[in-house]
Amino acid sequence: MKNLYIDFDGVILDTNTVLYEEARRQEYDIDDNEFYEKFNFKCVLKDRYIINESIECIKALIESKKFNISILTHCNSLKEGTDKVKYIRKFFKDITVIICPKAISKTKMVHTEDSILVDDYVGNLKEWEEAGGIAVKFSTDLNGKGYKVIDRLDKLLEMF
């Protein structure tokens, strides 16, 4: 079984759109830690923001027994990480959730060599490949930007 790490924001839930809009509305820079400390993440961690049936797709990936699956997500605050874990636990009682501080590369948190990362952010994919991992771009418009690309997580079953 291959290790499969799935990003949260922009892959499981479309949280980025809401976060960016709210930061702009409140006149914060999107990288301002104060914004994340004050922001109520529960308002973006809603089922209506699920991207392309990602929760059902993860269930199919688990059932396939092809992968050791973990959610690997950058977080700007402990509160954000806690809220994400609680959201994932609504659907999965036994999946590993790895909270990665935003200032640390995902490649420093887990074993990357020959492991798969599905992420919407090219910067993370570049670092992942440089560390010997397999990068898969998640893009609803299938813009891979030079990477293998999927728009649904269950398409991994066809790739690997």
**What's the pLDDT tens digit per position in 60-91?**
999 999 999 999 999 988 889 999 999 999 99
Helix (H, G, I), strand (E, B) or coil at 31: coil
Give the per-residue pLDDT at 42.
87
CB 153 within 8 A of CB 147: no
The domain ranges of the chain are 2-14+46-159
For the domain 2-14+46-159, what is the CATH code? 3.40.50.1000
- Cα–Cα distance for residue pair 53/51, rounded to 1 Å: 6
pLDDT band at 147 (very low <50, low <70, confident <90, very high): very high
Give the per-residue pLDDT at 86.
96
pLDDT digits (tens, 9 = 90+) for 13-65: 999 999 889 999 999 888 887 888 888 888 899 999 999 999 999 999 999 99
128-135 average pLDDT score: 98
